[in-house]
Amino acid sequence: MQTQRNSKKKEQDSIPQPIRGNDGFEDRGPRNVLLDQQNPDLLVPPATDHGTLPNMKFSFSMAHNRLQEGGWARQVTIRELPISKEIAAVNMCLKPGALREMHWHKEAEWAYMLWGRARLSSVDQNGQNFLDDVGPHDMWNFPAGIPHSIQGLEEGCEFLLIFDDGNFSEDSTFLITDWFNYTPKHILAKNFGVSESDFSELPTDVDHTRYIFQGEIPGPLSSDEVPNKLGERSFTYHISDLKPLKTSGGTVRIIDSTIFPAASTIAVGIVDVEPGGLRELHWHPNTDEWQYYLEGNGRMTVFASEHTARTFNYSAGDVGVVPFAMGHYVENTSDDTPLRFLEVFRSPHFQDVSLNQWMALIPPELVKEHLDVGDKVMKSLRKEKWPLVK
């Protein structure tokens, strides 16, 4: 009996309560304890939080999933996260051999491989083709209007697709089967110089599209090659081509149009923060920041001016957004697990302003007069940029 009481007390002690010192009181009403445990800084905000800000977090786990024979897809857009006006994203998985139907978009498509391997194919406006295989952490970018397809290789694959418009929808993709089914067969026959009967076996799914469907696992890359290659231009970027910038608290890899010209509308930072480390206090002077958390657990406070700030907690699969020019940091809240996340911007270039560097590069007396800090703080400032600091 004593063991049962001890177990019940231990369970109650593990349930977070909205209490901070003398503020707040127990929540004895209906509640989702698991969500409260995942969002401790919403249940018990830091005393420095103040004012009202829009929600800046949404999890792919709460997004509707579209299941197909060849895999699945779910999206987070402005409809799920209204503050995300510039970026939308799709999380997609393909079985071995499965195909993401030949298609194109009004928006550019940037992608990050989460696991597995895939084969990409494309043709540009000059009639030159592109074919490549990608693996974990590799990237690709197809500019708006450029047709392409994706196929899972032996182990299948999962990837994150980024689109440079928050209003994007997977349902608005231009699909090849959809176009064929909504074009008169005599027009198809005239266009290709064949008879109408040659199009009698077009897919007749409920929505007249295949979208994600099962195919055969392709052979070696060389077996799929077609003459008329794209030449020096590449729609893919392999992570092995880029060495990380190492700092005292982790690493960062920056991929933008400077090193990946095909990605002319999307810039990305792949940030790794060591346990207890910090993505330093900073802001972005050119556009909003869209985040995707790959592993670990993090905390971010966003400073929005007008005496307003709010703190959010993030874990793997979560999306975060920081509106243009708002100050923020990202802290690894784990004692033993690294934090990895993507910083994504609708911009050809990665830009940020470091609070530390700003304070270091102006007259010291000016800083002291503003903040009433001593020499110890002034000596800690660094003139070089530190994307991560301990």
* Sheet architecture: strand order including 309-315: 309-315, 297-303, 327-332, 278-283, 353-354
The tokens of 340 are what? 């990895």
First to last CA, the chain: 48
Q: Are strands 278-283 and 353-354 parallel, antiparallel or unpaired?
A: antiparallel
Buried b (16+ CB within 10 A) or exposed e, 25-36: eeeeeeeeeeeb
Residue pair 298/339 in contact (Cβ under 8 Å)? The answer is yes
Distance CA 153, CA 82 (A): 35
* C-alpha–C-alpha distance, residues 151 and 305, integer Å: 46
CA 340 to the chain's CA centroid: 11
Catalytically annotated residue among 170, 343, 365, 369: 343
155 is catalytic: no
The 3-state DSSP class for residue 269 equals: strand
Amino acid at residue number 200: S
Q: Which two tokens stand for residue 122?
A: 């494309």
CA-nearest of 145, 138, 74 to 106 is 145
- CA separation for the pair 221, 131 (Å, rounded): 8
Helix (H, G, I), strand (E, B) or coil at 274: coil
Q: Phi, psi (5° rounding) for residue 52?
A: -115, 130
Which of 60, 94, 4, 48 shows the shortest CA–CA distance to 320?
A: 60
How many other C-beta atoms can be found within 10 angstroms of the C-beta atom of residue 145?
13
By annotation, the residues acting in catalysis are 343
